[in-house]
């Protein structure tokens, strides 16, 4: 597996990481724990060194899974996790509010370290910007954790460019995690130029459009009530039908390259900037191997040009999130 450096942070990771959320959260009922531990270890054996989790995934159980699965390989992998929410004190499955107060960040770090079975967090993201806490205070708290040896790198998720700049001035930001794919290109307008200027990497979550860009969905696809795609505007039957034009584009390029739509989508991301690292998630070994295969798929300038030309004629139908969740992004 090729390696990439996240900006100028000297944090080196595999060109394709593994998003672990879906193993225990959001995409239907949790998968079998032992099967997911085996999948995590298979990923390491195949060269994946970058794993993404968060305390809110589960909640808590995803960090425990990642910690157990990666314990034998801890010195070979980079683990990213996140803070920034208050969890349901009654043990419910959802967060109840934002919380990036410095004292809370430090409590979360200690708890995450225990669940992850480690003495340091490689990359610690603010999961969502908390408008009630100055970002300078957030960056300062993570800086103290870095000085204490509990955290190695600071990250932000779904933060606006002004927030990124202010945080970076207090504690260098290694990476910003944002949704980025052929059907979510909003980072290109302001965020990517800012990250390039500041020397910050981009970690692209949902690089396969929450599964849509694999080409395995159409308007007949239905989602379990425990699958959060069941409430997303882009996954209504109308949107799934309208957005098939993207799949046609990926399939056409893939046919020429002997690659799947998913591999073309990931290779397109890798071709955008050398400091972009996608983290597709999966619960299946076959999908893991397919995703990893994208790292060796080379798209020529002609390929990329034809993708741009065709994509410019396609209007993606449906918002990323319902309005109440969309407000949590881009602050």
Element (DSSP H or E) covering residue 174: strand 173-179
CA distance 250 to 262: 8
The gap between the terminal CA atoms of the chain, to the nearest Å, is: 35
Q: Are 113 and 121 in contact (CB under 8 A)?
A: yes
Angle of helix 61-70 relative to helix 102-116, nearest 10 degrees? Answer: 40
Q: Are 102 and 109 in contact (CB under 8 A)?
A: no
CB neighbour class for 246 (10 Å; exposed up to 12, middle 13-18, buried from 19): buried
Verdict on whether the full-model pTM lies above 0.75:
yes
Q: Give pLDDT, residue 82.
A: 98
**Annotated domain spans of the chain:** 3-211+272-297
CA distance 49 to 304: 27
Element (DSSP H or E) covering residue 306: helix 301-311
Residue-wise pLDDT tens for the chain (331 aa)? Answer: 999 999 999 999 999 999 999 999 888 888 999 999 999 999 999 999 999 999 999 999 999 999 999 999 999 999 999 999 999 887 777 788 999 999 999 999 999 999 999 999 999 999 999 999 999 999 999 999 999 999 999 999 999 999 999 999 999 999 999 999 999 999 999 999 999 999 999 999 999 999 999 989 989 999 988 888 998 999 999 989 988 988 999 999 999 999 999 999 999 999 999 999 999 999 999 999 999 999 999 999 999 999 999 888 888 888 988 877 766 665 5
Long-range contacts of the stretch 86-91 (C-beta < 8 A, 24+): 87/55, 87/56, 87/59, 87/60, 88/59
Residues belonging to the active site: 57
CATH for the 3-211+272-297 domain, from 3.30.300.90, 3.20.20.100, 3.40.710.10, 3.90.105.10:
3.20.20.100
């Amino acid at each position: 597996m090729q390696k990439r450096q996240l900006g100028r942070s000297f944090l080196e990771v595999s060109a394709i990481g593994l998003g672990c959320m879906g193993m225990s959260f959001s995409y239907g009922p949790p998968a079998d724990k032992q099967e997911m531990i085996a999948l995590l270890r298979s990923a390491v054996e195949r060269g994946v060194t970058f794993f993404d989790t968060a305390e809110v995934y589960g909640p808590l159980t995803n960090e425990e899974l990642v910690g157990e699965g990666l314990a034998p390989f801890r010195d070979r992998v980079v683990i990213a996790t996140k803070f920034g929410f208050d969890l349901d004190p009654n043990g419910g499955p959802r967060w109840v509010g934002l919380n990036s107060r410095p004292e809370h960040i430090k409590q979360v770090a200690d708890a995450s370290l225990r669940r992850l079975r480690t003495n340091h967090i490689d990359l610690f993201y603010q999961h969502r910007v908390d408008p009630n806490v100055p970002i300078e205070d957030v960056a300062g708290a993570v800086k103290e954790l870095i000085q204490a040896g509990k955290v190695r790198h600071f990250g932000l998720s779904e933060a606006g460019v002004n927030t990124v700049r202010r945080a970076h001035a207090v504690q260098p930001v290694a990476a910003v995690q944002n949704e980025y794919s052929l059907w979510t290109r909003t980072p290109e307008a302001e965020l990517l130029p800012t990250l390039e200027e500041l020397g910050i990497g981009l970690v692209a979550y949902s690089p396969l459009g929450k599964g849509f860009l694999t080409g395995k969905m159409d308007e007949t696809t239905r989602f379990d009530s425990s699958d959060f795609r069941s409430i997303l505007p882009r996954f209504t039957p109308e949107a799934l039908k309208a957005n098939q034009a993207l799949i046609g584009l990926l399939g056409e390029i893939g046919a020429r390259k002997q690659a799947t739509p998913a591999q073309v989508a990931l290779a397109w991301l890798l071709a955008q900037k050398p400091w972009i690292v996608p983290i597709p998630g999966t619960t299946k070994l076959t999908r893991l191997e397919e995703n990893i295969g994208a790292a060796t798929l080379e798209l020529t300038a002609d390929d990329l040009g034809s993708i741009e030309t065709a994509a410019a004629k396609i209007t993606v139908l449906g918002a990323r999130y319902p309005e109440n969740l969309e407000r949590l992004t881009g602050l």
